[in-house]
Amino acid sequence: MSKESKAYKNLPKKVYIRTFGCQMNEHDSARLKDLLVERGHVICDSPEFADTVIFNTCSVRKHAEDRVYGKVGTLAKLKLKKPGLMIGIIGCMAEAQRDVIFRKLPIVDFLCGPADLDKVPDIIDKVHDGAGHIMYLGGYKSKIIPEFSKDRRDRGRAYVKIMEGCDNFCSYCIVPYVRGRERSRPSKDILEEIRKLVKSGVKEITLLGQNVNSYGKGLKEKINFVGLLIKIDNLAHLSGEPAGSPDRWACGVKINFLTSHPKDASQELFRAMRDLKSISKDLHLPIQSGSDKMLKRMNRRYTVAKYKKLVKSFRGIVKNGSVTSDVIVGFPGEVEIDFNDTVNVIKELRFNSAYIFKYSPRPLTKASKFKDDVSLQEKERRHKVLLNIQKEISSNKR
């Protein structure tokens, strides 16, 4: 190592992190910031002041990747002014675009996949030592979720990862290919993390997983998602109240969770949401389409009738609960009849809110082999129609 790089290594380095995408990415960025601070870095809020700029990225839709390509491109001028500026792309897009990023954006110094983020501080050191382009990818193949950042700095609200990856292979979705197969964290690690967060003053915790309802699969202990919720709810001593007391969590801690798959959501879960005091009564249950033909092509493994029955049952059991959803318009083969079926379901089920997405073909997925036969114009029309319907329903629900 040269004298200069040794001297540089001892200086605090300023890191700017920009996050795109879902709550899982928000959570990963927050933990990475804590880890970098533990290693002596300083977090700054603008690329201009930074020594290292990191983009934590999303690949769920092409638009999200295009934005990152655009944003990184705008840093070329800054890198000319500051040749030592280091640029990293981390998260799902680093995996999905691994073969093209360095070619498209030679100013990028390193790539790191979502399951390798604990390596980022070492990668930064290596690049400073002149290692050239670095890639840390493929960590999602491991069965373990790496626990990095021991010292969490959450205030008020926090995310806790309970599982990661997905085995569902919905035909449009890139997640199983960039975040890997499902793996759950042992419940004792989750409970310990929650205990610490609550002790440090956190009042609202969101349990994260691509498919929380299949929590527990592959673990040595015999536990399912409802079992985990019961254990969390029973951390009664945190509020100073004995277990079983109606006032437990009197300290006001609320536990949310995301995301549930309709094929795995059960009445057992709904009863737990009704009975466990700390557990939120908000259910995010993506329907994706109101047409059985589309659901089959999407490989969702439920029918519209089953979905409706599920929502009815939830509303019957959890009296003051809310249901929110995701919908994709313009999936390959979606003709007017299919779209109308979706419109009708949205009108009938009256979700509290719903995210409406235009289908975006993703590499590696099964649907990328289908003909993307709904024009962009038509996708935009369908998107607007549904947005307007849902907007009215949501505002009447308030």
Residues forming the site for ligand SF4 (CB under 6 A)? 166, 168-170, 173, 175-176, 210-211, 261
- Dihedral sign from CA coordinates of 172, 392, 342, 213: positive
307 binds ligand 5AD, rule: CB under 6 A: no
173 binds ligand 5AD, rule: CB under 6 A: yes
115 Cβ neighbours under 8 A, 6+ residues apart? 139, 140, 142, 145, 146, 164, 179, 180
Among 32, 54, 60, 265, binds ligand 5AD (CB under 6 A): 60
Among 149, 278, 360, 390, binds ligand 5AD (CB under 6 A): 360
Between 86 and 170, CB nearer to ligand SF4: 170
Between 202 and 367, CB nearer to ligand SF4: 367
Smallest gap from Cβ 246 to ligand SF4, in A, equals 36
Per DSSP, what are the bridge partners of residue 282? Answer: 322
294 binds, among ligand SF4, ligand 5AD, none (CB under 5 to 8 A by kind): none
Burial class (CB in 10 A: 0-12, 13-18, 19+), 102: middle
Among 172, 177, 215, 302, binds ligand 5AD (CB under 6 A): 172
Smallest gap from Cβ 179 to ligand SF4, in A, equals 8
Smallest gap from Cβ 331 to ligand 5AD, in A, equals 8
Between 140 and 249, CB nearer to ligand SF4: 140
Q: 345: closest CA among 273, 396, 295?
A: 295
Smallest gap from Cβ 318 to ligand 5AD, in A, equals 21
Distance CA 342, CA 334 (A): 10
261 binds, among ligand 5AD, ligand SF4, none (CB under 5 to 8 A by kind): ligand SF4
Residue 1's CB is within 10 A of a number of other CB atoms, namely: 11
47 binds, among ligand 5AD, ligand SF4, none (CB under 5 to 8 A by kind): none
211 binds, among ligand 5AD, ligand SF4, none (CB under 5 to 8 A by kind): ligand SF4
Smallest gap from Cβ 307 to ligand 5AD, in A, equals 14
Residue 63 φ then ψ, to 5°:
-55, -40
Residue 384 φ then ψ, to 5°:
-65, -45
Identify whether the C-beta of residue 179 lies closer than 8 Å to the C-beta of residue 115.
yes
The DSSP call for residue 241 is: P
Site string for ligand 5AD, 310-349 (x = CB under 6 A): ----------------x-x---------------------
Residue 256 φ then ψ, to 5°:
-105, 170
Residue recorded with tokens 């390798």 = 116
What DSSP letter does each residue of 129-142 carry, written as one string? TT--SEEE--GGGS
Identify whether the C-beta of residue 118 lies closer than 8 Å to the C-beta of residue 148.
yes
Between 54 and 94, CB nearer to ligand SF4: 94
Smallest gap from Cβ 325 to ligand 5AD, in A, equals 9
252: left (phi > 0), else alpha (psi -120 to 50), else beta?
A: left
- Dihedral sign from CA coordinates of 24, 28, 34, 35: positive
Site string for ligand 5AD, 193-232 (x = CB under 6 A): ----------------------------------------
> Stretches 72-80, 156-164, 242-250, 355-363: which one binds ligand 5AD (CB under 6 A)?
355-363
Distance CA 96, CA 372 (A): 20
Distance CA 195, CA 188 (A): 10
Which residues in this chain contact ligand 5AD in the complex, by CB under 6 A?
60-61, 172-173, 286, 288, 326, 328, 357, 359-360, 362
